[in-house]
Structure 1
Amino acid sequence: MSEDSTYGDGTEGFFGFVVGLYAAAVAVPAVTIAFELAATPSPGTLFFVLLGSTVLVAYVVGLFGRRESLAVRLGGTRSVWAALVPPLGYLVALFVSEVVRGEAPPGAVAGVAFAGALAGLVAGLGLIVASHNRYVKARLADAPVDVAFSARAPKRDRTRIKWTVVALFVGGVLCFVGEILLHFDPLRWLFQLLVPMAAGLYGGTTEREIRISSAGLIAGSPAHKQLRPWSEFESYDVADDAVVVRRAGWSPWGLRDVRRDASDVEDPEAVADALGRFLPRHE
C-alpha cells in the first residue's frame, strides 16, 4: 500500500483552508505593494485590495489544496519546510532595504511586508504541522505503534540549552537597547531573530512523545508529530541517564539525534527491545 493510499482521493476542508491561507499570506502582500507603488497609496483603496485578494486567493488555492493525498505527500518530504522561505523573504527585503538604501521603505509598504511575513510564517508553520500529522496518521494505519513513552531532554542537554537560551536572550536585549541608543535599525531585526531562536531552543527540552513503529520513529507532541524512517538512524543506546537514537550521517554534537531523559521512561527495557528490532545497539 502506498504512503498516501490510506486517504485515497478524498478531500479535507481544514487542510484546504490552511493551504489557501498560506497562499494568501505569501501572495497578497506582494500584490498590495505592487498596487500601491503603481496606482495609489490611499489606505482605503489598499484595504479593499488586500481584503479582496486575500479572499480570492485563499478560496481558489484552498479548493485545489484540500486533497488528502496532497497533505500526506507534503508531510513525507523535507521540501515542505520551504514554505517558510517566502515569508522570510519579506523580512530579508526589509532588512536589505534599510542597510543598502540607508532608509526604510514607505510606511505602508513596510507595514504590509512585515504583516505578510508574520502571517506567512504562522500559516507556513500551520501547513507544515498539518501535513506532518496527516503523513504520520497515514503511515501508522499500516504499521501500529509498538512502544510509546513521553520524556524530556536529558538533564545535561537541558543545562546546556538553558545557558545558550540565556546568552541569546541577553544578546537580543542588547541589540534592542543598541537600536534605541545608536538609532541603527538593523539591530532591531537581530533582536526579533535572537529572541524567537531562544524560545525555540528551550522548547526542544520540554516533554516529547516518542513512538516506535515498523514505519519509523515518531517524535513530537499531541499537536505536531514527525515520522523519521529507520534508514535515517544508525544506532541506539538506552543508558541510565538517556535514551539516544543516533541519526545516520553528520550530527554535530548530537544535535540531530533523538535524546530523551531515561528517568522519565517507565520501562526502559521495553524501549530497548523495541529499538533493537530495527537498529543495532551503539557500542
Structure 2
Amino acid sequence: MKEEQYSPSKAGFNLYFINLSLPGNIFVVSLAVADLLVAVYPYPLVLMSIFNNGWNLGSLHCQISGFLMGLSVFGSIFNIAGIAINRYCYICHSLKYEQLYSNKNSLCYVLLIWMLTLVAIVPNLQTGTLQYDPRIYSCTFAQSISSAYTIVVVVFHFILPMVIVIFCYLRIWILFLQVRRRVKPDSEPKLKPQDFRNFITMFVVFVIFAICWAPLNFIGLAVASDPVNMVPRIPEWLFVASYYMAYFNSCLNAIIYGILNQNFRKEYRRIIVSLCTSKMFFVDSSNNVADRVKCKPSPLVTNNNLIKVDSV
C-alpha cells in the first residue's frame, strides 16, 4: 500500500490532482467571477450610454453599475494577491501548504477576499464618488470628489497588493534560480515543471494587470494631490485611454490562460468540439427521426392489411 502511494506515477498523479484541486483553483475561479462582474451589468449599460450619447437610465442604475465595477476592480487585484500568496506557499513552503490551504481554509480565504472587497467599495456610497463621467460614458469612481478616499483607494487597491505580489514572486524566482544552480543532472529537481508553468502563467497575469492599471492609478494620485489644479492639466485622451486600458484587463486573463496553460487549451478545444459535435448530432438525429417517420408505414394501413388477410 505504501509502495503504491509513493510510486513515481502515483506522485505525478497526486501533483496533477493538487494543481487541479480546490485550494489552487478556487482563487482562479474567484478571479474569473471578478472579471465577469463588469460584463454582466456595467458594460451593457456603457454601450447603451454610447448609443444614446449620454446616460438616461437614472441614478439607481448608475450607482449599481459603478458599485459592480468597483467590486470587479477590487476583487481582481485582491484575488491576484491571493493567488500570489497561494503560489508562494505552495512552492516555497510546500511542507505546510496542505495545512494552510485545506479546502475549508481556502474557502475562508476567498470569503475574506470578498469581504475586504466590500469594505473597500462601500465608502463610495457614503462619499458620493460614484458618478457618471461623460468622457467615458459610464458611472465610475470620481477621483476628484474626495482626495483622502482617492489616496486610500490607490494605496490599498494598487500599491499595497503590488508590493505583496512582487514579494511573493521574487521569492519564487529566487528559489527557482537556487534550485537550477544546486540540482545535479542525475537528481530530481525539487521544483516541478508543472509548478513553474503555473507560476509563469500567474506571473504574466500580474504583470499585465500592473501595466494596465498603473496609468489610471498614477492619474488618481496626481488628481488627489491637487484636484483644482491637476484636473484641467490632465488631457482628456490620456484619462480615457488609461480608463479603457484598465478595464480591458478584465478580458485578458482568459486569453493568457489559453495561451500559457496547456490544460486550459485542452478544455477550450474539448468544449468547442463538444458543442460542435452535439449540434451536429442533434441535427443528424432530427433528420434521422424525420426520415424514419416518413419511411415508417402507417399502423392503420398495416392493420387493414392484416384484417384483409385474415378475412380471406
Would you tell me which structure has more helix in proportion to its own residues? 2
**Higher gyration radius (CA):** 2
Q: What TM-score, normalized to structure 1?
A: 0.30
TM-score of the pair, normalised by structure 2: 0.28
* Structure holding more strand per residue: 1
